[in-house]
Amino acid sequence: MGSERHNGRRWSRRSPLRGCALLGSGALLVTGCASMPDSGEVHRVDASQRTDADAQVRVFGVPPRAGEGPNDIVRGFLEAVTSDEADYKTARLYLTRAASKNWQPFSQTTVLEDGPNPSMDSPIRDPEEKTAVAELSGKQIATVDRKQAYKPAEGTYRTTIHLTRVGGEWRIDAPPTGLVLGKSDFDRIYRSVNKYYFAATDRDDRASGSQKDVLVADPVYLRRRIDPLTSTVKALLEGPTSWLENVVDTKFPSNTRLVDSSLSLDDSNGLRVRLSSRASHVGQSQCTRMAAQLLYTVQDQASAKISRVELAGKDGSELCVLNPGEAAAYAPAGLRKHAERQYFVDGEHRLASLSDASDEPSRVEGPFGDGTVQLGSVGVDRSERLAAGVSLDGRSLYVAPMSSGAERGGVKLRSRAKSEKDALSAPSWDGNGNLWIADRDPERPRLLRLAAGTDEAQEVEVPSLGGGRIEGLRVSSDGVRIALLITRDGRTSLELGRVERTDAGAGEPPLSVNDLLSVAPQLEHVESASWAGTSRLVVVGREPGGVQQLQYVETDGSSSNTPTLPGISGVEAVAASEDESKPLIAHSDDGIVRLPVDANWKLVTEKGKAPVYPG
């Protein structure tokens, strides 16, 4: 297929717009079927002039023309780096030979709210001038590092581009570091991909055997149109991102490389991957786990449901084969066992439950359902056999079975706070059966964990918490990530922490939550958050000066590509399952409401609060 130039780009005829597109009056219009214009002057288009339809087409850069001035060279370079060329061949034509050799476009990507705005340091008045300087500026919103990890980073971006004459033509001899893209171009060029690595099991959980071979999602951003299947496998082999690498392991031997230059599914939707000699001598058990990592990583990027993954040595000899059914044994913990029910505290402060198939809630069995304990909030363990309940005044934590005749037992934890809002948060269970809770007592705020839900509470250090206070928490099913609602200076934000075991001395906490990462930086106040996928949360919050919003966010702080949620007023709490096929449940002005997939909110009961899924 050929391609056409228009508005400063070469538009591919391979556009996925149902096989046809029409360019007219400088805009791309989707139509039934029309021919592409084959004449007209070529113009460059600034990022701010692009339409949403740009995301539907392949884009290629325009080389520099003879006699172009420094300003045109800079603008042409910035346009060329938004192209769909794998090697940025056209962008390099704007650089001197030495600069092209040294330029590393993948070392860092800076994402700006709008396209980078170039301006010349001073106009070129002397035709014999040999050098020039341009300044790039804009409002920065994020960076993507060498390992393709996204990180919110708000602030003012400013850098310079130096140019020189080469054979009478202006060229850039000092380009900006990496790539500089506007958000619209970044969203068009890149896609979010979850790589999967195994949780590094700590000694307590290894002894119990409760959390064996659990995959953890590690989100990165890869280019959409540059051989997505192959680039995804290469990214997996490069290892986990810096933020997660301390708490996960890869089963691929170090320095394992992909032998094939390009991957594709065969006629039966199988994927065969040849690996370098580093992987040729692994045992069958390790190879199976390598295949599980690969299958879960590539499944969302493949064009069809993958029927099997085959790993082969450099010479093509089979190492192991794994199908989706066999891979389920290594699935992320939250997807291994589907929650049977949703839970909430009813109007009489008892624990009630709700099944997917019924709109009628029922009280659970045991002391939390019979009114023995007046509840303010609850947490149900992932086996749905145990529950943790915080008393109505927020000061006492109980743990008891959800079974007939079960005893309430004594208080597991007591807060000395004087008011309910300063006492215990709602509890949360990880996939190892450990219970997490925050004591918000202003005199002694603490994050605590009760091993197996019944042991004595242990304090967990949060070194980067500073002067903040943890208001709420939800721990992931894999047990290595925890979402925290933290109040600092009157602002409540959502931050993600990494759970690590420390080499503590006598009397020191054995666990710590490190490297807090802002997950929803655009929200000034977050009321509630819940895990809603392996690397996604659903959040209730408000932007500065804005109204309350209910939205999905990714764990790396980037915007989720999921559809907008239907509006609902006065949400105080929301709960979701890591299984994305399960409905949302929320406490709103109307009461307890539920949102099934592809439906609208439906009222469950007018009286109730504190909705939760197991976890």
Do residues 160 and 133 lie in contact, with contact meaning Cβ atoms separated by under 8 Å? Answer: yes
DSSP single-letter state for residue 72: H
The reported pLDDT for the residue numbered 565 is 87
Do residues 21 and 30 lie in contact, with contact meaning Cβ atoms separated by under 8 Å? Answer: yes
Of 287, 289, 309, which is closest to residue 298 (Cα–Cα)? Answer: 309
Comparing 124-133, 230-239, 470-479, 528-537, the range with the smallest average pLDDT is 124-133
The reported pLDDT for the residue numbered 502 is 74
Helix (H, G, I), strand (E, B) or coil at 53: helix
Do residues 569 and 580 lie in contact, with contact meaning Cβ atoms separated by under 8 Å? Answer: no
Average pLDDT on 405-421 reads 93
Cα distances from 262 to residues 16, 229, 597, in angstroms, run 21, 8, 36
The reported pLDDT for the residue numbered 591 is 96
Do residues 1 and 14 lie in contact, with contact meaning Cβ atoms separated by under 8 Å? Answer: yes
Structure token digits, residue 109: 């990507």
Cα(538)–Cα(563) distance, integer angstroms: 12
The reported pLDDT for the residue numbered 56 is 55
DSSP single-letter state for residue 561: -
Cα(91)–Cα(99) distance, integer angstroms: 11
Residues with Cβ < 8 Å from 192, sequence gap 6 or more? 150, 219, 220, 221, 554, 556, 558, 561
The CATH number of the structural domain formed by 340-442+466-501+516-612 is 2.130.10.10
pLDDT band for position 505 (cuts 50, 70, 90) = low
CA dihedral of residues 431, 435, 438, 441 (deg, nearest 10):
180
Block residue for tokens 């084969």: 321
Structure token digits, residue 307: 């029927």
Comparing 306-315, 565-574, 603-612, the range with the smallest average pLDDT is 565-574
- Dihedral over Cα of 76, 82, 86, 87: its sign: positive
Domains 43-190 and 340-442+466-501+516-612 share a fold: no
pLDDT band for position 377 (cuts 50, 70, 90) = very high
- Dihedral over Cα of 43, 47, 52, 55: its sign: positive
Of 332, 350, 336, 339, which is closest to residue 385 (Cα–Cα)? Answer: 339
Block residue for tokens 């929320």: 586
Query: Is residue 47 pLDDT above 60, yes or no?
Result: no
Do residues 611 and 353 lie in contact, with contact meaning Cβ atoms separated by under 8 Å? Answer: no
Helix (H, G, I), strand (E, B) or coil at 507: coil
Average pLDDT on 506-515 reads 80
447-496 pLDDT, tens digit each: 999 999 989 999 999 999 988 999 999 999 999 999 999 999 889 999 99
Structure token digits, residue 8: 């400063």
Average pLDDT on 510-538 reads 94
Share of the chain above pLDDT 70, in %: 87
Of 525, 521, 587, 530, which is closest to residue 557 (Cα–Cα)? Answer: 521
Block residue for tokens 């029927």: 307
Q: Which residue has the higher pLDDT, 208 or 345?
A: 345
Query: Is residue 272 pLDDT above 70, yes or no?
Result: yes
60-70 pLDDT, tens digit each: 889 999 999 99
Listed in sequence order, the DSSP H helices in 238-283 are: none
Structure token digits, residue 418: 């004087």
Share of the chain above pLDDT 90, in %: 74
On average, the pLDDT of the chain sits at 87
Structure token digits, residue 587: 């406490």
113-156 pLDDT, tens digit each: 998 989 986 666 667 789 999 999 999 999 999 999 999 999 99
Query: Is residue 38 pLDDT above 50, yes or no?
Result: no
Q: Which residue has the higher pLDDT, 34 or 217?
A: 217
Residues with Cβ < 8 Å from 251, sequence gap 6 or more? 198, 282, 286, 289, 290, 293
Sheet with 602-605: strands ordered across: 573-575, 584-588, 591-595, 602-605
| CB burial readout 552-588, b (16+ within 10 A) else e | bbbbbbbbbeeeebeebeebebbbbbbbeebbbbbbb
Q: According to the per-residue pLDDT averaged within each range, which of 160-164, 297-301, 578-582 is highest?
A: 160-164
Using alpha carbons only, what angle is made at residue 181 by residues 178 and 186, rounded to the nearest 5 degrees? Answer: 110
Report phi then psi at 611, rounded to 5: -70, 145
Do residues 497 and 481 lie in contact, with contact meaning Cβ atoms separated by under 8 Å? Answer: yes
The reported pLDDT for the residue numbered 389 is 97
Structure token digits, residue 416: 């000395």
Query: From the CA atom positions of the chain, what is the Rg in Å?
Result: 27
Do residues 527 and 573 lie in contact, with contact meaning Cβ atoms separated by under 8 Å? Answer: yes
DSSP letters for 123-168 = ----TT--EEEEEEEEEEEEEE-TT--EEEEEEEEEEEEEEEEETT
Do residues 578 and 334 lie in contact, with contact meaning Cβ atoms separated by under 8 Å? Answer: yes
Cα(70)–Cα(170) distance, integer angstroms: 6
The reported pLDDT for the residue numbered 28 is 29
The reported pLDDT for the residue numbered 514 is 96
Beta strands at 270-274 and 308-312: parallel, antiparallel or unpaired: parallel
Do residues 515 and 555 lie in contact, with contact meaning Cβ atoms separated by under 8 Å? Answer: no
The yes/no answer on whether domain 43-190 falls in CATH 1.10.10 is no
The reported pLDDT for the residue numbered 303 is 75
Query: Is residue 207 pLDDT above 70, yes or no?
Result: no
The reported pLDDT for the residue numbered 21 is 31
Domain boundaries, the chain: 1-42, 43-190, 197-333, 340-442+466-501+516-612
Beta strands at 435-439 and 428-429: parallel, antiparallel or unpaired: antiparallel
Paired residues of 574 in beta bridges: 586
